Chains A and B, each alone.
Chain A
Amino acid sequence: DTAVSQTPKYLVTQMGNDKSIKCEQNLGHDTMYWYKQDSKKFLKIMFSYNNKELIINETVPNRFSPKSPDKAHLNLHINSLELGDSAVYFCASSHLGQVHEAFFGQGTRLTVV
């Protein structure tokens, strides 16, 4: 059983389109994250979300929005895709608090053409 799963694994789309990436975790964690990994391999946090609070990285354009239907899911919606959005997006989850390891999904490679 996959602990953190993302779909799709690859996503190729045209500029201007709207797309979603889904993330599900079956670990019973209460905090989930989205990270963007660019071509230089930097892992930048986009959002962290638990039952009570959504923390948004202020550098993330508002074209990106997380949607959490329940504790086990945190989907990423992207509107009006731009070339610069091309990257690998990772979902991760952990228990709430500062001493717990994060488990990552396998990543979604988004290519905007």
Chain B
Amino acid sequence: QQPVQSPQAVILREGEDAVINCSSSKALYSVHWYRQKHGEAPVFLMILLKGGEQKGHEKISASFNEKKQQSSLYLTASQLSYSGTYFCGTEGGDTDKLIFGTGTRLQVFP
């Protein structure tokens, strides 16, 4: 079952903040976050393991609520380089398959 991300798209001005949510209908063992720029391959940002873990990457951080089967990605003081499509990737406890969410397109303008 594919995780659902919200919002589907975000438009920001440089310096603004954004939150991207990822919600799964299945119990999760871990959540990955990736960014894909136009015409390129997805690139890994971070992994969060169950247990309320929070991680950070530059001014991008994320949280994982295992009980709610949700993760959120926080982009602070966005830069032009943040533009792209963000995917969460989830792994359940019974499989090594990395299933990606529906994606959130983020555009940052000057």
**Are A33 and B98 in contact (CB-based, < 8 A)?**
yes
**Are B96 and A102 in contact (CB-based, < 8 A)?**
no
Interface size class of B (residues with CB under 8 A): 20 to 34
Interface residue? B60 (CB, 8 A): no
**Are A94 and B98 in contact (CB-based, < 8 A)?**
yes
Interface size class of A (residues with CB under 8 A): 20 to 34
Q: Which of B40, B44, B91 makes the CB contact (< 8 A) with A106?
A: B40
Question: Which residues of chain B are within 8 angstroms of A31 by Cβ–Cβ distance?
Answer: 96
Q: Which of B44, B49, B97, B100 makes the CB contact (< 8 A) with A43?
A: B100
Roughly how many angstroms separate A100 CA and B30 CA in the complex, as a whole number? 10
Roughly how many angstroms separate A96 CA and B36 CA in the complex, as a whole number? 23
Chain B interface SS verdict (over half): strand
Question: Which residues of chain A are within 8 angstroms of B34 by Cβ–Cβ distance?
Answer: 102
Q: Which of A50, A55, A98 makes the CB contact (< 8 A) with B91?
A: A98
**Are A42 and B103 in contact (CB-based, < 8 A)?**
yes
Q: Which of A99, A100, A104 makes the CB contact (< 8 A) with B42?
A: A104
CB within 8 Å of B: which of A36-54? 41-45, 48, 50
11 of the cross-chain contacts (CB-CB < 8 Å) are A31-B96, A35-B100, A42-B100, A43-B103, A55-B96, A97-B96, A98-B96, A99-B30, A101-B47, A102-B32, A102-B34
Known contacts A35-B100, A43-B42, A104-B42, then 9 further A-B pairs from the complex at CB < 8 Å, ordered by chain A residue? A33-B98, A41-B103, A42-B102, A55-B95, A90-B42, A92-B98, A102-B32, A102-B44, A106-B40
